A and B are shown apart, each in its own frame.
Chain A
Amino acid sequence: MGEEEAAGMSTAVAAKHPYVEALLKGCTELPHSPLSWLDGRRAAALERANALTIPTTREEEWRFTDITPLTRIPFRPGRSAPRLTERDIARFETPEAAIRLTFVDGVFSPELSATAGLPYGVLVKNLAAGLETHCVPVEPHLARHAAFERDVFAALNTCYLRDGALVIIARNQDCPTPVHLLFVAAQKEIASYPRCLVIAEAGSRCTLIEDYVALGEDAYFSDPVTEIVLGDGARVTHVKLQREARSAFHIATCAVALGKDAEYASHTVTLGARISRYNLSVVQQGEGARARIDGLALVSGRQLADTHSFMDHARPAGKCVQLHKCIIGDAAHAVFNGRIVVRPGAQLTDAAQESRNLLLSGTAHVDTKPQLEIFADDVRCSHGATVGQLEQEQMFYLRSRGLSEARAHNLLIYAFGAEIIDRIPVPSLVAQLGRTVLEQAQTAA
């Protein structure tokens, strides 16, 4: 404590929750930034982290997701990362993505990154370096979109905000190949706080792959925050792959701001982690913006996958299509809360949301809550939710075509997942994820 005060951090008061305090240990000793605005935002986040507690199932937002297993492990921040080679991460590479930033336990690894030959108008850099050269475009957005006032995990991430990924696509520029942001977990009991900021200026286009992977099977904790800003008429495709280790914890926040006529497509695939939570919030800040929000959670064993999405139609004439699917095997548990709000005056909004859930075993469990809040009258909104097992009629149809019961079963599960996967615009990922769904189907059979 004395050292921290000596370091001049005025907000170094004890956190309200002992676990938050443990996670924050050492945070205040990190060096200051030369940018006073960044220090200010970190200090504000620290103040919030100190005031907030780890959520419990008594809170509506966390009612079905019990994160007490997380609090039993004393995670510490990763200071240094082990040196990895290209071979260690070869299996995670995406051939289509010529541009890659790699982070190991949250620490930027230049030797595993590929940023040579960037197309004109495309900036892909680690955030610490980017702040030195591109402070002006970053300042209005960094830690401005992902609200941390009431979210302890977003606050924790912001407290630790030193580095991360920065992608800026200049006005009317097109990034022809996907940008791969790879976050590798290598050591156990490490808490990492990855950060991404993507600024797609007016009329620009890009495809991002935000990818969380692990080398081992040990428990660790990822608490990433991603902010994506789309200028007027920009188009961003955002693929988020969560393939963490099966004993890891992953609590991610993503905040997206859409300008006028912007188009955002989110493809989220959740495969790993013991407990995972994804908070995706999309705010339509300009008229006529469009969003497609796809999600697939494929869980088994005793995994828990929770997706909370929030589509905020704050301006008129927005369109949103959301499809969230869960395939739940063994004693796994899937949670979905999809909230769509149409603000007063957001006329001509067209929002459709569907939650489809497939239960593969007698002990699988799903809690789904599609939620509409509408304060404008000239809108078209709908939502639907279904929960069930494979249809007997469909099985019968395939059996009548000569498929064995096992093959029919696998094919139907594959088809259920493929609807989401096939829309990902990266062919190698489509093939890879298709195989993963099929493997899961086979083990569930």
Chain B
Amino acid sequence: MSAVLEHLVNQPYKHGFVTPVEADTAPKGLNEDVIRLISGKKKEPQWLLEFRLKAYRHWLTMQQPHWANVRHAEIDFQDIIYYSAPIPKKKLASMDEVDPELLRTFEKLGVPMHERAQLAGVAVDVIFDSVSVATTYKQKLAEVGILFCSMSEAVRDHPDLVLRHLGTVVPYTDNFYAALNSAVFTDGSFCFIPRGVKCPMELSTYFRINTQESGQFERTLIVAEEGASVSYLEGCTAPKFDTNQLHAAVVELIALDDAEIKYSTVQNWYAGDEQGVGGVYNFVTKRGLCKGASSRISWTQVETGSAITWKYPSCVLLGDNSSGEFYSVALTNNRQQADTGTKMVHIGRNTRSRIISKGISAGRSNNSYRGLVRIGPKAENARNYSQCDSMLIGSHSGANTFPYIQVANHTARVEHEATTSKIGEDQLFYFAQRGIGAEEAVSMIINGFCRDVFQQLPMEFAVEATKLLGLKLEGSVG
């Protein structure tokens, strides 16, 4: 029966194709000239160039971190193309004029932009190798005062807003990859929800790494003013390449008084083949700042791809009564490695946080939950509840938990629970008795295991995530 399980966990990557688009590419390697080139290409103001250069100079002084429970060959940062923009065939006036090659790519991905945008009412800001190509529903959002555009446009059209917030949650000194990102980020999404506005639709971006050996360094900034609320979705896929691609993004969220930000990710970058060749290195810094009183930030992530995932979406709970949430499903198969989790830093009074993490490891993969709950000395009545469950499929995979709990206030209450289990043969037998095949049974058990997290996803993403896990674990059983 365990042989059945082993067969269940193999599924070829369906999104591996390369779109031949003429790219405007910087030479390999990183130096101040490359940064000036990126900044110049994007016609950026002087302050942003200086921000990049400061970050770059700081990055030079830093060491690559090695504390994560992942193994990979040393990354040669001079062997990466830091800028690659698809050259649009002509200036874009409407969606119909978007490069048809690109649109075909998205169709293959199952993201028909028009359909999705119109039927589902989702505004999609498409990022294709670092430059935003098409933005939909911008007008509709503009009517209520929401700014939703690419980072480049934001720098051009709303420099004051970007200047005020960029790097305030994740400073360029934060960590090695955040410094690198601050130096070379090419594009990303920017979203600003003004005071009291509830965003009328789910905002969504689709990221995709295209040119081989081009690291993608996107930068996302979401600001919700007093009483505003927004739900933001991010989906990721990458085509199949043999060499490893580096992805070092930075996402910053800022919530002022009573604001609410919900950030959902479905990550399905290319994970490498069964032998662990190729795949994306996903080294991401995501952090939300609950700056105002009673603000709320919620992270939901479904991590199924990437050769290596190194990612800790965090909440800094600064405002009194603010709350942070983290819901995660991380699935690893074959030789994938994931070291992921969250940080909840309680600073304000009556702050609350909740962590639900589900890790599934199959094949020869290694899946780690690493989390931090820190209650500061002034965080009176802070409350945290964490639950991290692991499931192992097959006897060659690993599941680890590294929860750090640091409490410096005696009125705080912190609870942490973790369990490990496997899909029991008795469970499969029970399903078989009722005429349900092993494959479907595994899929149902996994979906049940992950239900607490999927419930947090917006409808269409929940459907996609359920399918994605099914696909990942689908096999050759008849």
Contact of A385 with B405 in the complex, beta carbons under 8 Å: yes
Question: What residue of chain A has the Cβ atom nearest to residue B406's Cβ?
Answer: A367
Q: Tell me if A372 counts as interface (CB < 8 A to partner B).
A: yes
Q: Which residues of B contact A384 (CB under 8 A)?
A: 415-418
- Give a binary string over B393-427; 1 marks a CB under 8 Å from any A CB, 0 the rest: 11111111111111111111111111111100000
A375 proximity list for chain B (CB < 8 A): 397-398
Task: Note all chain A residues with C-beta closer than 8 A to B408.
Answer: 365
Q: Which B residues are CB-close (under 8 A) to A359?
A: 407, 409-410, 412
Q: Is B67 an interface residue (CB 8 A)?
A: yes
Closest to B387 in A: A384
A374 in contact with B420 (CB, 8 Å)? yes
- Docked Cα-Cα span, A368 to B404, in Å, equals 6
- Contact status A362-B410, CB under 8 Å: yes
| In contact, A369 and B404 (Cβ under 8 angstroms) | yes
Min C-beta distance of A341 to chain B, whole Å: 9
Contact call A372/B410, Cβ cutoff below 8 A: no
User: How many B residues touch A, CB cutoff 8 Å?
Assistant: 35
Contacts of B406 in A (CB 8 A): 64, 365-368
Chain A residue at minimal CB-CB distance from B415 = A386
The verdict on A253 contacting chain B, using a C-beta distance below 8 Å, is no
CB contacts (< 8 Å) of A344 on chain B: these are 395-396
Given known contacts A372-B399, A372-B400, A374-B398, A387 and B418 CB-to-CB distance under 8 angstroms: no
Give the Cβ gap from B258 to chain A, nearest Cβ, in Å: 28
* B414 closest partner in A (C-beta): A387
Q: Check: A371 CB closer than 8 A to any chain B CB.
A: yes
Choice from B393, B403, B407 contacting A377 with Cβ under 8 Å: B393
**Cβ of A357 < 8 Å from any Cβ of B?**
yes
The contact of A385 among B390, B393, B397, B416, by CB within 8 Å, is B416
- Asked if B338 is at the interface (CB within 8 A of a chain A CB), the reply is no
| Docked complex Cα distance between A382 and B390 (Å) | 10
B266 within 8 A of A: no
Name which of A344, A375, A377, A379 has the most chain B CB atoms within 10 A of its CB.
A377
Interface residue? A152 (CB, 8 A): no
Asked whether B412 lies within 8 Å of A388 as measured between CB atoms, the reply is yes
- Cβ contacts under 8 Å, A363 to chain B: 377
Q: Does A51 contact B (CB under 8 A)?
A: no
- Tell whether, in the assembled complex, residue A361 and residue B410 are in contact, meaning their CB atoms are under 8 Å apart: yes
Range of interface residues on chain A? Answer: 35 or more
Q: Is the CB of B395 within 8 A of A377?
A: yes
Query: Is B410 in contact with A377, judged by CB distance below 8 angstroms?
Result: no
User: Are B397 and A377 in contact, CB atoms less than 8 angstroms apart?
Assistant: yes
Asked if residues A372 and B407 are in contact (CB atoms below 8 Å), the reply is no
Residues in A with CB closer than 8 Å to B399 are 372-374
- Residue A383 CB within 8 A of the other chain: yes
A318 to chain B, nearest CB (A): 14
Name B415's contact: one of A60, A381, A385 (CB within 8 Å): A385
Given B403, B419, B422, which contacts A378 in the complex, CB threshold below 8 Å?
B422
Which chain B residues border A60 with CB–CB below 8 Å? Answer: 67
The complex places the Cα of A394 from the Cα of B135 at a distance, in Å, of 58
> With an 8 A cutoff between CB atoms, is A55 at the interface?
no
**A381 with B422: in contact, given A359-B407, A374-B398, A388-B414 (CB under 8 Å)?**
no
- A357→B418 contact, CB < 8 A: no
A273 at the interface (CB under 8 A from B): no
Smallest CB gap from B419: residue in A: A382
A380 at the interface (CB under 8 A from B): yes
Whether A347 pairs with B395 at a CB distance below 8 angstroms is yes
Q: How far is A361 from B377 in the complex, measured between Cα atoms in Å?
A: 11
Whether the Cβ atoms of A379 and B420 lie closer than 8 Å is yes
Contact A374 B418 (CB under 8 A): no
What is the minimal beta-carbon distance from B144 to any residue of chain A, in angstroms?
Answer: 43
Contacting pair B410 A364 (CB below 8 A): yes
Q: Mark A12-28, 1 if CB is under 8 A from B, else 0.
A: 00000000000000000
Check B411–A389 contact: CB distance below 8 A: yes
Q: Which residues of A contact B356 (CB under 8 A)?
A: none
Q: Which one of B397, B406, B413, B421 has the highest number of Cβ atoms from chain A below 10 Å of its Cβ?
A: B406
In the complex, A347→B395 CA distance in Å?
Answer: 9
Interface residues of A (CB under 8 A from B): 60, 64, 344-345, 347, 357, 359-389
18 extra A-B contacts, CB within 8 A, seeds A374-B390, A383-B417: A345-B395, A357-B407, A359-B410, A362-B409, A366-B406, A367-B405, A368-B406, A369-B405, A370-B418, A372-B390, A372-B420, A375-B397, A377-B397, A380-B420, A382-B419, A384-B417, A385-B405, A387-B413
> Which residues of B are interface residues toward A (Cβ below 8 A)?
67, 375, 377, 390, 392-422
11 residue pairs bridging A and B, Cβ less than 8 Å apart: A359-B407, A362-B409, A371-B401, A374-B390, A376-B392, A377-B394, A382-B420, A383-B416, A385-B414, A386-B415, A387-B375
